[in-house]
């Protein structure tokens, strides 16, 4: 009995498998020609029938003057002339769009072997019920197709990618969850954090912890003792901020909203859309060009695939998109004219028997008038936003997921809170339609002309060609080289940097009981630390992760400028090749002077001592003997006169602003090299330019500037300068390590009431 039941189940399973196999085989083949083109004949029939009824049943009686006429001879002649012109415009546009190929990728891209999968396949189909696998993934068979379906991770369609993210089954990139001990070996004592150099604040990812924030353990107190006296840390005088930074609360109400929404955030899918593994089509056996997509109805990959349109019997793609839009325009105008004239004449001649076929044409013209009007409006927006229909649906899916997240946090009536939350996400990430669009070119005009061409005549009539070939597209520079949309607040904030976070901006946080602000960066010249200290709020930075990378970049700049690397490179680019008058300084016979011996200064010392440099330093306090490690402590004036290379690693405060001014440069020994990776305003740039021109300063290497992002013209013009765009801290792991350090600060605060790397710890006021 069991054997019979097993046999019966086997028959059912085999039948189901064969049905799925047949379905998969049908999906892998294009539709029959008659099925693809049937609607074309129907469309031509509707056009012909409309012309017959309008001319023969509506206009001809006017010209003949019969009793069934709805107008005069003159009206009939005028109507038929305009109708004929519009009808020919529509028919010409239709024929142009149906005879123009959308652009088949196989005609331009050779077949290639399938690249290895980007991510390993799931261990079993039963692990996730949302995964749609082909039939041969469930049952082995000798008749398995050689091609794999497009559902595999190596080459999914845009719709499949969208469905994966809606179901939460999209693969995630594998990031390292460990931190390199070598990069995190800098001691994070309070005094070291206090004396740390002024580093770079490329990311301002603020983590707020308040008394009302839910915590893992209810037994851990979060209230902190109020400081008995304000911190004496030197904070620069900050100008009042008229506009808060993106994503920062502007009122107590908004701070409360942010606290409620702390567990939801914009999370773009981390799919590398531009990688070949992601673009490979297993059916066409090609690496699809950018924006190409496989159409199941046509059975091939289409360049800049928009959608498959049954009305034209083929896809709308790169090479016929313009004519499709021309057809929609002409049909909209034609049907509007037909509907308006028929309705107006029928309404004004109610005493005449109306031909039923005229009523049919009125209904058809009204239907297609509304349809084509919606198409023109929708595609005008899509063209100007640089989106195809598939890409629009993908972005719309992200918006719907965000709406669902906000619906779980805010009530149906809290429309304003939802809007402000989305505005904060837009401020941090950028707009989904622009910064979140992989193919946004920066302006609606560029997008429009790339599709419709630059001739306004071609915008209306089906002549000429569009402005793109469907093969070459420049990705949005907001995305990384593999097509992922990274966290953009750093990039957006630097467009108008610095953002002074003074009492007017952090006040709403303090009012809600916030006790800790943790930032991804080491510098704090943008923040009113004294205000936070007076109100019992810790500010913690990520000095450790920033220090390691900034020190590496500083050492690299020192070596490059000592070797006259930039000048040699310019000579090679200008065709001069070797200039023997440029002599490199001997590293082993040179003295490095470090101003600011905090975390970064100590690491720079260690790096350069390995190259045999003698190191002297000037600091607000002398280090303990075991901390100096061979470096000699000297006064500020002495370091100016003794150093061959001067590395600036001190924080920006009111005391260090223009620390190196005209007077300081005058005290320096001739031929000195200046390197600055701390803060631009520490150096008076005009005084530096004068010193370079006079020869007092041999060369300078700068990563920071006084009025970022603007750079002094004299520094740009000089051949003696090595310039980089405030990027010393940036590398491929900085954000991961900063997040780790931020979370470590939060964890330490929860457990002990104090973060690991506080800037305004009360003991600072006692030490100073």
Percent of the chain beyond pLDDT 90? 43
According to DSSP, the residues that pair with 314 across neighbouring strands are 309
Global model pTM greater than 0.75: no
Helices (H) and strands (E) in the chain, counts: 27, 16
Least confident residue range of 155-159, 222-226, 681-685, 689-693: 222-226
Catalytic residue (one of 478, 492, 679, 699): 679
Q: Which residues contact 262 (CB under 8 A, 6 or more apart)?
A: 213
Question: In terms of Cα–Cα distance, which of 210, 415, 458 is closest to 321?
Answer: 458
Checking phi first, is residue 624 left (phi over 0); if not, alpha (psi -120 to 50) or beta? beta
pLDDT of residue 295: 93
> 201 or 264: which carries more pLDDT confidence?
264
Q: Which tens digits make up the pLDDT trace of 479-520?
A: 888 888 865 444 444 444 445 666 766 777 777 778 888 887
pLDDT of residue 257: 75
Q: Which tens digits make up the pLDDT trace of 190-210?
A: 333 334 333 333 333 333 333
pLDDT of residue 7: 57
> 170 or 74: which carries more pLDDT confidence?
74
* Alpha-carbon separation of residue 228 from 174, 513, 515, 534, 763 (angstroms): 47, 18, 16, 9, 11
Coil vs helix vs strand at 614: strand
Locate 84 and state its tokens.
């004929």
Examine the pLDDT at 361 and tell me if it is beyond 90: yes
Query: What's the whole-number mean pLDDT along residues 440-447?
Result: 91
The continuous run of DSSP H or E covering 27 comes out as: helix 2-27
**Going by DSSP bridges, is the β-strand pair 645-648/591-595 parallel, antiparallel, or unpaired?**
parallel
Least confident residue range of 131-135, 437-441, 478-482, 729-733: 131-135
Catalytic residue (one of 96, 291, 699, 726): 726
Catalytic residue (one of 24, 276, 708, 736): 708
Known catalytic residue at 253 = no
pLDDT of residue 112: 93
Q: Which tens digits make up the pLDDT trace of 97-114?
A: 999 999 999 999 999 998
The answer to whether the CB of 235 falls within 8 A of the CB of 530 is yes
Least confident residue range of 393-397, 543-547, 611-615: 543-547
CATH architecture assignment, domain 554-730: 3-Layer(aba) Sandwich (3.40)
Locate 667 and state its tokens.
């005290």
Number of C-beta neighbours around residue 85 at 10 A: 12
pLDDT of residue 245: 53
User: Over the chain, what is the mean pLDDT?
Assistant: 79
514-518 β-sheet, strand order: 207-210, 514-518, 538-540
Known catalytic residue at 304 = no
pLDDT of residue 190: 37
**Going by DSSP bridges, is the β-strand pair 672-676/645-648 parallel, antiparallel, or unpaired?**
parallel
Phi, psi of 276 (to 5 degrees): -60, -35
Query: What's the whole-number mean pLDDT along residues 627-653?
Result: 93
672-676 β-sheet, strand order: 632-633, 614-618, 591-595, 645-648, 672-676, 697-702, 721-723
The answer to whether the CB of 631 falls within 8 A of the CB of 642 is no
Longest alpha-carbon distance in the chain:
116
The answer to whether the CB of 714 falls within 8 A of the CB of 686 is yes
Q: What is d(CA 135, CA 82) in angstroms, rounded to the nearest whole number? A: 57
- Tokens 């000089």 belong to which residue? 718
Q: What is d(CA 95, CA 182) in angstroms, rounded to the nearest whole number? A: 68
Question: In terms of Cα–Cα distance, which of 509, 529, 498, 504 is closest to 240?
Answer: 504
The answer to whether the CB of 513 falls within 8 A of the CB of 535 is no
Known catalytic residue at 708 = yes
Query: What's the whole-number mean pLDDT along residues 175-183?
Result: 36
The answer to whether the CB of 519 falls within 8 A of the CB of 193 is no
pLDDT of residue 164: 46
pLDDT of residue 309: 94
* Alpha-carbon separation of residue 155 from 24, 363, 662 (angstroms): 16, 44, 62
H helix intervals, 349-443: 356-385, 389-409, 415-429
pLDDT of residue 342: 93
Checking phi first, is residue 458 left (phi over 0); if not, alpha (psi -120 to 50) or beta? alpha
* Alpha-carbon separation of residue 5 from 2, 16, 704 (angstroms): 5, 17, 78
Examine the pLDDT at 234 and tell me if it is beyond 80: no
């Amino acid at each position: 009995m069991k054997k019979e039941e097993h046999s019966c189940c086997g028959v059912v399973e085999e039948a189901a498998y064969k049905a799925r196999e047949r379905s998969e085989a049908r999906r892998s083949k294009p539709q029959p020609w008659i099925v693809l083109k049937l609607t074309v004949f129907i469309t031509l029939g509707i056009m012909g029938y409309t012309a017959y009824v309008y001319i023969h049943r509506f206009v001809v009686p006017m010209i003949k003057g019969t009793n069934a006429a709805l107008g005069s001879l003159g009206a009939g002649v005028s109507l038929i002339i305009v109708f004929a012109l519009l009808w020919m415009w529509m028919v010409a546009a239709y024929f142009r769009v149906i005879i123009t190929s959308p652009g088949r990728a196989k005609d331009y891209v050779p077949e290639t072997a399938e690249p290895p999968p980007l991510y390993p396949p799931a261990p079993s189909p039963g692990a996730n019920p949302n995964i749609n696998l082909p039939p041969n993934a469930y049952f082995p068979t000798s008749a398995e197709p050689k091609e794999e379906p497009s559902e595999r991770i190596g080459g999914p369609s845009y719709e499949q990618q969208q469905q994966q993210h809606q179901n939460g089954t999209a693969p995630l990139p594998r990031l390292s969850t460990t931190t390199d001990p070598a990069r995190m070996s800098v001691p994070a004592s309070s005094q070291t954090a206090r004396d740390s150099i002024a580093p770079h604040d490329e990311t301002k990812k603020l983590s707020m912890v308040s008394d009302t924030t839910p915590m893992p353990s209810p037994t851990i107190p979060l209230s902190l003792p109020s400081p008995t006296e304000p911190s004496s840390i030197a904070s620069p005088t900050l100008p009042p901020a008229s506009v808060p930074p993106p994503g920062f609360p502007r009122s107590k109400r908004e701070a409360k909203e942010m606290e409620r929404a702390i567990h939801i955030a914009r999370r773009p899918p981390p799919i590398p859309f531009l990688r070949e593994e992601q673009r490979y089509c297993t059916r066409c056996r090609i690496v699809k060009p950018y924006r190409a997509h496989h159409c199941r109805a046509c059975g091939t990959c289409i360049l800049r695939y928009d959608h498959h349109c049954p009305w034209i019997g083929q896809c709308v793609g790169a090479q016929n998109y313009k004519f499709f839009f021309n057809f929609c325009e002409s049909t909209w105008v034609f049907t509007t004219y037909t509907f308006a004239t028929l309705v107006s004449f029928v309404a004004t001649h109610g005493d005449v028997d109306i031909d039923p076929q005229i009523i049919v044409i009125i209904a058809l013209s009204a239907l297609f008038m509304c349809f084509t009007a919606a198409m023109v409006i929708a595609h005008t927006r899509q063209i100007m936003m640089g989106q195809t229909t598939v890409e629009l649906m993908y972005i719309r899916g992200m918006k719907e997921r965000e709406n669902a997240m906000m619906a779980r946090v805010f009530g149906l009536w809290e429309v304003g809170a939802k809007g402000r939350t989305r505005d904060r996400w837009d401020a941090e990430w950028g707009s989904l339609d622009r910064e979140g669009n992989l193919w946004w070119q920066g302006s609606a005009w560029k997008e429009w002309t790339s599709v419709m061409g630059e001739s306004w005549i071609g915008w209306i009539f089906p002549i000429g060609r569009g402005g793109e070939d469907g093969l070459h597209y420049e990705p949005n520079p907001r995305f990384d080289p593999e097509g992922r949309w990274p966290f953009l607040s750093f990039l957006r904030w630097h467009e108008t940097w610095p953002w002074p976070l003074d009492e007017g901006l952090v006040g709403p946080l303090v009012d809600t009981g916030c006790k800790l602000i943790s930032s991804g960066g080491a510098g704090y010249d943008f923040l009113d630390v004294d205000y936070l200290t007076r109100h019992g709020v810790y500010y913690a930075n990520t000095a450790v992760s920033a220090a390691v990378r900034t020190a590496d970049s500083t050492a690299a700049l020192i070596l490059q400028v000592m070797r006259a690397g930039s000048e040699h490179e310019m000579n090679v680019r200008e065709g001069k090749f070797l200039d023997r008058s440029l002599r490199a300084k001997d590293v082993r016979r040179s003295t490095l002077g470090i101003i600011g011996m905090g975390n970064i200064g100590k690491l720079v010392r260690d790096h350069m001592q390995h190259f045999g440099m003698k190191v002297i330093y000037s600091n607000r306090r002398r280090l303990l003997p075991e901390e100096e490690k061979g470096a000699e402590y000297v006064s500020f004036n002495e370091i100016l006169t003794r150093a061959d290379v001067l590395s600036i690693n001190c924080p920006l405060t009111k005391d260090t602003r223009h620390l190196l001014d005209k007077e300081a440069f005058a005290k320096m020994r001739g031929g000195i090299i200046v390197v600055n990776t701390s803060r631009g305003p520490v150096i008076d740039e005009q005084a530096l330019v004068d010193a370079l021109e006079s020869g007092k300063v041999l060369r300078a290497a700068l990563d920071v500037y006084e009025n970022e992002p603007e750079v002094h013209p004299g520094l740009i013009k000089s051949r003696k300068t090595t310039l980089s765009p405030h990027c010393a801290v940036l590398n491929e792991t900085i954000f991961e390590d900063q997040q780790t350090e931020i979370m470590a600060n939060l964890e330490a605060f929860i457990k002990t009431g104090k973060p690991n790397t506080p800037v305004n710890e009360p003991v600072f006021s006692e030490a100073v």
